[in-house]
Structures are given as C-alpha cells and as structure tokens.
Amino acid sequence: MRPPLDLSLYLVTDTRLCGDRGVAATVAAAVKGGVTAVQLRDPDADDRTLCALGRSIQAELADTGVPLIVNDRLDVAVWLGADGIHLGQRDVSPTTARHQLGPYAYVGLSVSRPEQLAHVPDAVDHLGVGPVFPQATKPDADAPLGLGGLARIVRESPLPCVAIGGIGVSEAAAVRGSGAAGIAVVSAVCGQPDPETAARSLVRTLRPEVSA
C-alpha cells in the first residue's frame, strides 16, 4: 500500500531563488529542517536539464522517505520514476497521468476557484489551493483567494488540500486555522540564506508542539 502523502510542509523548488547553493543542496538542507515533500519545478528548463536536476534531487532524498513530485512535466516524471506529479488546470489530464505513472503515484491538481472542485477526476489524490496571498514566483497565477477563499475550498473539497501562494512564517500561522493539510512554499525556503533554519521556523509555526 502507498502511504498517505504528508503535505504539512511541501517545498516547491525555484532554480533562480536557490542561486549558487543549487537546488539539490537547498532541498537537502530543507529536508533536514522538516520539509515533508518536494516538488521539482522549473518551467524554463528543457527536459534533459530537468531530468538531470531531478536525478540530483533524488540522490539527496534517498533514504529520507521524502517523495519527489514533478510539476507539470509528465514525460520527465515517467523518465525519473518520480513519486508523483502535480498538474495545473491546463496541463495533461490527471487520468492520463495516473495511467502512465501507475496506481502508486501521487497525483496533485491545482485549484484556484471553488467551482473547479466539481471537475476533479477520481485520479487525483490531493489539491494545491491558491494563490492564497499575493506572490511573485508565478506571474501567471490567478488572483489571491485570501484566507476566506482558502477555507471555503478546504471545507468543500473531498480531498486533502495544501495551501500555496505568498506563504511565509507569519502567513503560515493564519493558514493553520483554515483546515488545510499543509502549506506549500517557494521563496520562504528557496530564497532564504539558510534553508534548514527557514524550514524549521515554518515547522514550529505549523506544529507548535514540535521541538525543533
């Protein structure tokens, strides 16, 4: 049986923000700090470059139990034998992704409006909901939902939801009360001088009972 995906602190990579440290080293540090899932995202990379980057991340994640999810690029996810894929509303069908990746893969889908919940295929395991707050890492994103919009989607969704978009430590505290299964972050970890410490700070906010 496939274990449930721990969405509590979901890292989405950003090659530019990782800078000279590099994506793989950033991921390794963030996982030490408490990241529970990693999504490989680089819309500007060609398939060969993205596959090489994915391999380097997989090497860092080996024996950690933290899964690697590929954003959008089904061909790359298949080539890497990734743990799953995350798709946007205009990407390949989740049903097609499920067919190609198999029954044990994690399939996520982005949702930005409540009415999209009526069209989520059975192949989907969880939803990425957002952007919740204004953000700068995805210029073509929809308008921010706000906490009220997030809470509504979480309440109406039959699937676990991970909140994304403009979430840092202060925002994480507010999101915690929405019922979301976790938060997805980009600049709050990739753009920080110490990704491990940044991740630990988010964990403390999300789970105050955890001593880190």
Domain extent at residue 117: 9-206
Q: Is residue 2 part of a domain?
A: no
Q: What is residue 195's predicted lDDT score, i.e. its pLDDT?
A: 98
Answer whether residue 124 is part of any domain.
yes
Tokens of 48: 């060969």
By annotation, the residues acting in catalysis are: 41, 110, 138
- What pLDDT does residue 210 have? 59
The overall longest dimension of the chain from CA atoms, in Å, is 43
Please provide residue 133's backbone torsions phi and psi, each rounded to the nearest 5 degrees. Answer: -125, 165
Return the higher-pLDDT residue of 138 and 154: 154
Q: What pLDDT is attached to residue 212?
A: 43
Percentage of residues of the chain with pLDDT beyond 90: 87
Helix (H, G, I), strand (E, B) or coil at 70: strand
| Within-domain flag for 33 | yes
pLDDT confidence tier of residue 49, bands split at 50, 70 and 90? very high
**For residue 127, what are the β-bridge partners?**
109, 161
CATH number of the domain within which 57 lies: 3.20.20.70
In a domain, 152, yes or no: yes
The answer to whether position 20 is within a domain reads: yes
- Is the confidence at residue 77, as pLDDT, over 50? yes
Q: How many domains does the chain fold into?
A: 1
Q: Yes or no: say if 153 and 129 are a contact pair by the CB < 8 Å rule.
A: yes
Q: Is 60 a member of any domain?
A: yes
Question: How confident is the model over 120-141, as a mean pLDDT?
Answer: 86
Question: What pLDDT shows up at residue 139?
Answer: 64
In a domain, 61, yes or no: yes
Distance, CA of 39 to CA of 84 (rounded, Å) = 9
Contact call for residues 51 and 79 (beta carbons, < 8 A): yes
pLDDT tens, 82-91?
A: 999 999 999 9
- Name the pLDDT band for 173 (thresholds 50, 70, 90): confident
The whole-number pLDDT of residue 92 equals 96
* Alpha-carbon distance values, 120 to 89, 141, 158 (Å): 10, 19, 10
Residue 1 lies in a domain: no
Of 3-17, 141-155, 181-195, give the lowest mean pLDDT range. 141-155
